[in-house]
A and B are shown apart, each in its own frame.
Chain A
Amino acid sequence: AQSVAQPEDQVNVAEGNPLTVKCTYSVSGNPYLFWYVQYPNRGLQFLLKYITGDNLVKGSYGFEAEFNKSQTSFHLKKPSALVSDSALYFCAVRDGASGGSYIPTFGRGTSLIVHP
């Protein structure tokens, strides 16, 4: 079975400061990991993914995420937050094991609020 957890409902950060949105996962095989962002009244937008290779993945809008196999984490980061980054962020995981689900499991989402 696959599962994902986003331990924080909300993250507050000042503009210009680094931000981190946390995600941990559980799978039986190798994980396929994704981050999506949802702005108010919009659909989810794909930010980045980890399939294999370099543990640091770079994505859209200056975001990056670090895959840590030993801690089963895939935290989303940005060196300098912008007010326009304020949105709802979703982590998702798909189990790469043989016979694994075709359907990713999404976390509950973390609301990121960047203060001016």
Chain B
Amino acid sequence: DSGVTQTPKHLITATGQRVTLRCSPRSGDLSVYWYQQSLDQGLQFLIQYYNGEERAKGNILERFSAQQFPDLHSELNLSSLELGDSALYFCASSVGLAGGSEQYFGPGTRLTVT
């Protein structure tokens, strides 16, 4: 158990809908990352927050947004869903912002868009 929790584990929804994925980092970790994993694209970095502030953006679509709350949990919002958004979404956390901090990954949320 990495100490990172994600809910829900599975999500099935229709095209055009909006969903929210939730992540709680390990105790003491200030940095939260969101990743999308699909068979054809591999592991894609979406966005990073550090202590409540956005610090880095990756290949995140404009239809997607995220935030980190004062208690350090984070939410990833996906809207106007398309079939291609079906994937595993992972949250990870680390102690620091840079340097040699390793990441701890949650179990993921499997999103299926029908």
Contacts and interface: CB of A to CB of B under 8 A. Distances in A.
Partners in one complex: yes
Interface of A: 32, 34, 36, 42-46, 49, 51, 90, 94, 96, 100-104, 106, 108-109
5 closest cross-chain pairs (CB), A and B? A43-B105, A51-B100, A44-B105, A46-B102, A102-B98
A82 B100 CA distance: 29
Contacts, number: 53
B64 interface: no
A104 B108 CA distance: 19
A90 B102 contact: no
A42 B99 CA distance: 26
Contact of A45 (B42, B45, B97, B105): B105
Nearest to A107: B42
Given A102-B98, A103-B33, A103-B58, A44 B42 contact: no
A42 B56 contact: no
Contacts of A90: 43
Contact of B103 (A100, A104, A108): A104
